[in-house]
Amino acid sequence: MKISNHIEYGLLGVSLVLLQFAGYSVLTLPFLALTAVLMFSFKSLQTQVEESAPFSLFLVTAFIVGLVHLIFRDTTAKSLMMWGQLYFLAIILACASNKQKVISIIKYVIYAIFLADITSNILLAAGYSLPWTHFPPIRPGEILPRFPGVKSSSLFSGSISFLALCCIIQEPIKPKWLKFFIEFMMCINLLLAGSFRYYIILAAVIGLYVLKLYRKPKLLISFYICFIVFVVLFTYLTKDISQSNMLRWKLWLHTIDHISDSPIWGIGFYFQYLREHTIFTFHNLAVAGVTESTILLFAWCFGLPIMVIFLYALYKTLRQFSNYSEYKLFLGLFLGLSLDLFWGGSLDNCMSLSIFLLCMYQINHDEKVQHHHTNL
């Protein structure tokens, strides 16, 4: 069903905000249901499945493997909710006929959340007591506390700051000093969140933008792989002086051990379960199922062959960057968010997940359109 002026896209933006902050509740579910009804289009879905064939194959094969495992073994409600969220968003966003319009709407949602987030962090830094969050302790081995922002999560605060920075790059804000000030404040909020992994992917996005790597597919792929290798090496070399990197490295090795137990078949639908006041030790995080890598999570859940299918979907999408003669917002967002999947990423961040899916769909859609015109 389609409504004039894309009202359903606005409802999608509201639904994502509610889902991100309120979770699944009596308030969120009606909005999600209404959005799904208004946006669903079998024709658009069919077209997107064909345009993003490798990713569609990943979703189908992962679902089959997960379903078979589900028949023979139990899983947690949390795991089913998170994987169900992936499939729900993948299907509904594929139904959007104008994905650039959806990205544009979500962009303004990101700006609004960022404004609330940095305001919350500034008030905390000024010593105010806030009912929705608290001043964070300093983690062992770190100099500054990680400010939790409006959602009481330093990870989300870093994520929303990164997304806002990606979006602001192309904004025609005048005078220039105002744009510079806004970007500076976004960087400050990213620093307050202590999410240095977002500085890394932000550097990748800036490199794509400044060096115009989207015009050079081979160089882009090399650039992409080098970033992955750099982060892995940097994590290994700094694990003795950084508690966060020490935990990340141990969790990677721990996850790889689990993958080796069932490298072809995986274990089915599974997702980490962290309690609100979980103490960040290796034992607690390992027991909770934290992998610190969505790519490794795919291999653990569904096996290495299906993980390879997903990696091929990323590779194929990156190859389509050369179809663009100028920088587009969704190119930078896809590059950054796809890189983050290797050393982080999270299926429970519906905002980042939605943007990642939309960008992938848009890039593959544009490639098909251009190929069609070339044939004509």
pLDDT tens per residue across span 364-376: 998 665 554 444 4
- Identify the pLDDT of residue 253: 97
Same domain, yes or no, for 297 and 333? yes
Query: What are the tens digits of pLDDT across the range 21-55?
Result: 888 888 788 888 888 888 888 999 999 999 999 99
Same domain, yes or no, for 36 and 46? no
- Identify the pLDDT of residue 1: 46
- Identify the pLDDT of residue 372: 45
Same domain, yes or no, for 220 and 157? yes
- Identify the pLDDT of residue 228: 97
Q: Which two tokens stand for residue 36?
A: 């799904």
364 close to 317: Cβ distance less than 8 angstroms:
yes
Same domain, yes or no, for 60 and 86? yes
Same domain, yes or no, for 17 and 64? no
Same domain, yes or no, for 36 and 171? no
- Identify the pLDDT of residue 20: 87
Query: What are the tens digits of pLDDT across the range 329-340?
Result: 999 999 999 999
Same domain, yes or no, for 144 and 160? yes
Q: What is the extent of the structural domain holding 341?
A: 41-375
Of 316, 327, 291, give the one whose Cα is nearest residue 367. Answer: 316
**How many distinct structural domains can be found in the chain?**
2
Amino acid at 182: I
Same domain, yes or no, for 320 and 234? yes
Same domain, yes or no, for 4 and 152? no
Same domain, yes or no, for 36 and 124? no
Same domain, yes or no, for 238 and 201? yes
Same domain, yes or no, for 20 and 161? no
Q: Which residues does the chain have with pLDDT short of 50? A: 1-4, 372-376
